[in-house]
Chain A
Amino acid sequence: MAHLRPYPAAEKHMTPLDFPGTRVENWQQKGIEKLGEMLHKYRSLQVYMDICVKCGACADKCHYYLGTGDPNNMPVQRAELLRSVYRRYFTPAGKLFPKLVRATDFDETALQKWFTYFHQCSQCRRCSVFCPYGIDTAEISMAAREIMDAIGVGHKYTTEIVGKVHAIGNNLGIPGPALTGTLQFLEDDLLDNTGHEIRLPLDQEGADVLLVAPSADFFSEPHISSLMGYAKVFHQAGISFTISSFASEAANFGMFIGSFAQKQKIAKRIADKARELRVKRIVVGECGHAWRVAYSFWNTLNGPFDFLDPNYPVPQHICEFTHQLNERGALVFDKEANDDLTVTFHDSCNVARASRMGPSAGGQFEIPRALIRATTNKFVEMDADTIRERTFCCGGGGGLLTDELMDLRVRGVLPRITALKRVMEEDGVNYVALICAICKAQFNKMFPMYGIPMEAVGGVHALVNNAIQIGAKRGIV
């Protein structure tokens, strides 16, 4: 079927990431060796290869399985694609009785299945919520992608983007001068609309906060409205901030390809810039997997961040930042500014199931909702089976937000659309608030295909942007 399989990477995409440019000659042997190495490096992989009992609890939890009906998209079966090769080469049962335990050789058929189906996983971890052992298919698909990269069988979209980050500083390849121009344009816009000089500073040494947003926030709708929301919050709170031209990207596609080295290298430029710009805090914008990498991995990858102000967690999510200011009375919101909207919240997978906000478990659900309630009058939840830790992926995560996978994306978004349509019909919802750049881009493209207006999606900080009263003062800062 068309548009269900990604384009393979070319040599020019692979070599900048230190991967072989083309498929290596003894790829079977190399692949098996790499799998052996990964088993020694990742306890998750080793344990998850062994202990699945194939109970099937995960089978109907994957949005791609629900959307495509392809049995290879059942998380257990997806994992079996790797597990059957593991059994063949690393377990006595698979070496002696391959047929009885379904062990398979690492041959061309197996590799082609890997390439297709490990790129039909958005690493959203929904299956791991329901697994009695917490088996996380994200870990397994990351490992499979890393093995494929090691033998020169890469994925064009993700490797190309990582290359852009190394060369230019962000996923979209926006060079410094273009970024300067965009930010100036937005500042003028903000001045026209509010009458206040709300700044979007670039590379400003000595600012209090380094703001690291997904680069889509500088570039496309509906993302830009959130960027203006962030700027207004900083302005109103009187906290100076800066964007960095070279660390102008929160996203870290190193995670999608499973490479620890790439994750570390991509994250390092942000730590380096924070040091160089002598900021006191780092705040991350509305981006799902970026928040996972920042929250869960930064400390391991490039920590400790002992050069930053110890009074604040490192890093902070923009929702935590805004919420805290609002709790302290530093912001004034006019909820009526959003009265044309009936809002629902889509939990993005990496925020919901792979990170946290605030001091207690589940803060990643409560804080964004608190912000929505503070800025709007009409808030409605979708079906309980499709929100919070049970949320459905938008269908474009995990490095799959690429045109050649359009068919997969259209099918993968289906479970989310179904729940959304229900609240649209029953409660008059006309706006989906969320905090992930990939979800925004994916919904923006998918909604019209399902008869929903493109404008029905936007950031939580787009609501903040509408409701915040500039110049109003209340309480202390």
Chain B
Amino acid sequence: MLALIAYLALLTFVLGFGWRIWTYWRSPAPLKIPTTPAPVCKSGVVWRLFTEVAFFNSLFKGNKWTWLGGYLFHAALALVLIRHLRYFVQPLPEAFAYIQIAGIVAGLAMVGGLGFLLVRRFWVDRTRYISSFADYAILVLLLAIGISGLLMQFVFRPDIVEIKSAMLGWVTFQGFSTPEDALFVVHFLLVLVLMVIFPFSKLMHLGGIFFSPTRNQVDNPREQKHVNPWAVAE
């Protein structure tokens, strides 16, 4: 049963994500609208996008507290995801031993960052005003995933061998039987929920940022004619 749900969730995530990216890809950018000052060459644009994704440059300019919470969460999440590869890779390369501790510390930082973002969203009048149920729900879901993961790390240690064999079966499309540990099943189900809502929610900022014309366009409209594909020549 869990295997069926897991495959449906994976399918929804992959197809849904691909469908949104395809939508962004095929929609035309009729005019040059980079927010200036903007890079005047392509390599400059690559650098601009890199600094946005790696350091959250614009957000840093905008609000230091939000940057702090957001950056802490995202950077920690990246480390946690890398550490989680150990449950999906066999045999395990030696390098994984070195990031084990960093990954566990990041798990704590991630929950801390999320908690900060949740409190901030509720506490600050402006963000409370703009927040819907969905905005809180996503934070709570991520928190629940993080906390259930930490509990498995620090309190209720599950049978990791059994879980790893199930996960390997899942990602190699050989199927798997539900592991016995209830905490793990909760953790895994919550991740599947996240995968299902991902393409239909604001979480699409992960792919969407690369398509933002104000950030990904070269500032060279005088040097090079930018053609609007749907314009009718007058």
**Cβ contact within 8 Å between B221 and A297:** yes
Answer yes or no: A61 CB below 8 A from chain B CBs.
yes
Over the window 33-77 of chain B, the binary record of Cβ atoms lying under 8 Å from chain A Cβ atoms (1 yes, 0 no) is 101111110001000000010001011011100100010000000
Interface residues of A in 40-81 (CB under 8 A from B): 40-44, 46-48, 50-61, 71, 74, 76-77, 80
**Cβ contact within 8 Å between B124 and A56:** yes
**Cβ contact within 8 Å between A47 and B24:** yes
Q: Which residue of B lies closest to A46 (CB)?
A: B27
- Interface size, B (range): 35 or more
Answer yes or no: A134 CB below 8 A from chain B CBs.
yes
Question: Which residues on the B side are within 8 Å of A260 (C-beta)?
Answer: 30-31, 228, 231
**Cβ contact within 8 Å between A130 and B62:** yes
Interface residues of A in 348-370 (CB under 8 A from B): 352-356, 359-362, 364-365
Question: Which residues on the A side are within 8 Å of B40 (C-beta)?
Answer: 356, 359-361
**Cβ contact within 8 Å between A133 and B215:** yes
Question: Which residues on the A side are within 8 Å of B211 (C-beta)?
Answer: 43, 47
- For the complex, give the distance between the alpha carbons of A315 and B221 in Å: 10
Answer yes or no: B212 CB below 8 A from chain A CBs.
yes
Q: Which residue of B lies closest to A355 (CB)?
A: B36
Interface residues of B in 176-234 (CB under 8 A from A): 197, 200-202, 204-205, 208-209, 211-215, 219, 221-228, 230-232, 234
Instruction: Give chain A nearest CB distance to B9 CB in angstroms.
Output: 15
**Cβ contact within 8 Å between A57 and B66:** yes
Instruction: Give chain A nearest CB distance to B57 CB in angstroms.
Output: 8
**Cβ contact within 8 Å between B37 and A362:** yes
Question: Which residues on the B side are within 8 Å of A304 (C-beta)?
Answer: 225
Quick check: which of A93-101, A172-180, A467-475 contacts chain B, the rest being far away? A93-101
- For the complex, give the distance between the alpha carbons of A47 and B131 in Å: 20
CB within 8 Å for A77 and B225 given contacts A300-B31, A354-B36: no
Question: Which residues on the B side are within 8 Å of A428 (C-beta)?
Answer: none
**Cβ contact within 8 Å between B24 and A299:** no
Total chain A interface residues with beta-carbon distance under 8 A:
74
**Cβ contact within 8 Å between A101 and B132:** yes
Instruction: Give chain A nearest CB distance to B108 CB in angstroms.
Output: 23
Answer yes or no: B1 CB below 8 A from chain A CBs.
no
CB within 8 Å for A56 and B130 given contacts A136-B214, A296-B33, A300-B32: yes
Question: Which residues on the A side are within 8 Å of B39 (C-beta)?
Answer: 361
**Cβ contact within 8 Å between A134 and B35:** yes
**Cβ contact within 8 Å between A356 and B27:** no
Answer yes or no: B129 CB below 8 A from chain A CBs.
yes
Question: Which residues on the B side are within 8 Å of A131 (C-beta)?
Answer: 58-59, 62
Select B27's contact among A43, A125, A298, beta carbons within 8 Å: A43
Q: Which residue of B lies closest to A48 (CB)?
A: B212
Answer yes or no: B168 CB below 8 A from chain A CBs.
no
**Cβ contact within 8 Å between B29 and A125:** no
Q: Which residue of B lies closest to A61 (CB)?
A: B62
**Cβ contact within 8 Å between B124 and A300:** no
**Cβ contact within 8 Å between A136 and B35:** yes
CB within 8 Å for A352 and B134 given contacts A42-B30, A300-B31: no
**Cβ contact within 8 Å between B212 and A56:** no
- For the complex, give the distance between the alpha carbons of A417 and B20 in Å: 44
Q: Which of A51, A53, A77, A361 has the most CB of B within 10 A?
A: A51
**Cβ contact within 8 Å between B208 and A51:** yes
Answer yes or no: A238 CB below 8 A from chain B CBs.
no
Q: Which residue of A lies closest to B232 (CB)?
A: A261
**Cβ contact within 8 Å between A101 and B127:** no
**Cβ contact within 8 Å between B234 and A268:** yes
CB within 8 Å for A134 and B214 given contacts A41-B28, A71-B129: yes
Answer yes or no: B135 CB below 8 A from chain A CBs.
yes
Answer yes or no: A451 CB below 8 A from chain B CBs.
no
- 26 example contacts (A-B, Cβ-Cβ < 8 A) are as follows A39-B27, A43-B29, A50-B202, A53-B205, A54-B202, A55-B127, A57-B62, A57-B63, A74-B126, A74-B129, A129-B62, A133-B208, A134-B52, A134-B209, A135-B214, A139-B33, A260-B31, A264-B234, A300-B32, A300-B221, A300-B226, A300-B228, A352-B36, A354-B35, A360-B40, A364-B36
Give A contacts to B, CB under 8 Å.
Answer: 39-44, 46-48, 50-61, 71, 74, 76-77, 80, 91-93, 99-102, 125, 128-136, 139, 260-261, 264-265, 268, 295-304, 313-315, 352-356, 359-362, 364-365, 389
Q: A91-B200, A132-B59 are in contact. List 4 more A-B contacts (CB 8 A).
A: A47-B213, A74-B130, A133-B215, A264-B234
Return the 6 tightest CB-CB contacts between A and B, nearest first. Answer: A130-B62, A57-B62, A51-B208, A134-B214, A361-B37, A102-B132
